[in-house]
């Protein structure tokens, strides 16, 4: 398939499970997302709801280094929650706002093929690793040219008939890097903090911009810890691989873009 037009800039916006699980916050966020100008893509998590349903169904959740171990029953559950309820609800809410959204997983039109992660050294089960240059960007560009807004859940497949669970941050990274080959691409990681904070309890301690070497220092000094670390290093990888800008910000600040901008080394020198 060829793509049918040129696009100047694409915004890839990722929202996490805490926002997705809060109807008021989600509704407000989606109204802002609809107002965001230009070509855009939404990627959503859903781990909070999946964890709740895991309990309701009496399944066990195993997490290793912040990542869910996906046995077959968990794969079924996350596919139902992410690709089913959450994805279609977000699309319905966007449609209500007049935003012509389409819900997609990596399986659909083979947009994001993945490879099942090796069971060595840790067996994460049905988890898919993605590669930006495997993304079917023409399909996405065609949708954007038709003013359709793709909404991605974090389900992929191995092209051999098996669905796979992929981290939503990774999906956003993969799409942004892939699309940076055809357009200027900005990546927004929206969550429930103002951005990267010097003091996690003080929203006024926002770090407005950061290079990778500054990030190294912050990590060494224990200013950055936990789940933020892979998010930031994935973001610096995205920049190295072609994404113009990555912003880590509160979901409420999408339109103002107030948050932590991750920038190239030389831009700060």
User: What is the contact surface with its own copies in residues (CB under 8 A)?
Assistant: 1, 56-57, 76, 79-85, 87-89, 91-93, 95-96, 100-105, 107-110, 139, 142, 146-148, 155, 157, 159-163
Closer residue to its own copies (CB): 153 or 243 = 153
Give whichever of 35 and 198 is closer to its own copies, judged by the CB atom: 35
Shortest Å, Cβ 30 to its own copies: 10
Q: Which residue's CB is nearer to its own copies, number 1 or number 121?
A: 1
87: CB partners within 8 A, 6+ apart: 44, 103, 104, 105, 151, 153
Categorise residue 243: left if φ over 0, alpha if ψ from -120 to 50, beta otherwise.
beta
Q: How far is the CB of 251 from its own copies (least distance, A)?
A: 19
Residue 133 neighbours by CB distance under 10 Å: 10
**Encoded tokens for 54:** 């895991």
- 166: which residues sit within 8 A by CB, 6+ positions away? 106, 112, 114, 127, 128, 129, 130, 154, 155, 156
With residue 190 as reference, give the H or E element that holds it.
Answer: strand 184-191
Nearest to 267 by CA among 226, 219, 228, 211: 211
Q: How far is the CB of 32 from its own copies (least distance, A)?
A: 16
Which of 111/172 has CB closer to its own copies? 111
> Rounded to the nearest whole angstrom, what is the least distance from the CB of residue 206 to its own copies in the complex?
33
Cβ at position 38, least distance to its own copies in Å: 18
Q: Which of helix, strand or coil describes residue 203?
A: helix
Would you say 108 or 169 has its CB closer to its own copies? 108
């Amino acid at each position: 398939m060829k793509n049918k037009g040129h696009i100047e800039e694409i915004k890839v916006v990722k929202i996490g499970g805490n926002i997705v699980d809060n109807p008021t916050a989600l509704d407000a966020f989606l109204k802002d997302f609809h107002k965001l100008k230009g070509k855009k893509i939404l990627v959503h998590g859903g781990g909070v709801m999946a964890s709740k349903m895991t309990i309701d169904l009496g399944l066990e959740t195993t997490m290793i280094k912040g990542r869910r171990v996906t046995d077959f029953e968990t794969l079924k559950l996350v596919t139902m929650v992410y690709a089913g309820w959450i994805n279609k609800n977000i699309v319905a809410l966007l449609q209500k706002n007049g935003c012509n959204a389409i819900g997609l997983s990596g399986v659909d039109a083979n947009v994001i093929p993945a490879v099942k992660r090796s069971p060595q050294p840790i067996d994460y089960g049905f988890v898919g690793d993605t590669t930006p240059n495997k993304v079917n960007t023409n399909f996405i560009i065609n949708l954007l040219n038709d003013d359709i807004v793709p909404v991605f859940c974090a389900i992929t497949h191995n092209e051999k008939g098996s669905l796979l669970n992929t981290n939503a941050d990774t999906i956003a990274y993969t799409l942004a890097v892939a699309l940076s080959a055809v357009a200027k691409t900005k990546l927004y990681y929206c969550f429930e903090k103002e951005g990267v904070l010097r003091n996690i309890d003080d929203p006024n301690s926002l770090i407005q911009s950061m290079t990778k070497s500054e990030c190294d220092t912050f990590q060494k000094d224990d200013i950055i810890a936990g789940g933020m670390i892979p998010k930031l290093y994935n973001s610096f990888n995205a920049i190295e691989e072609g994404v113009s800008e990555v912003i880590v910000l509160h979901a409420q600040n999408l339109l103002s873009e107030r948050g932590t901008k991750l920038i190239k080394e030389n831009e700060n020198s």
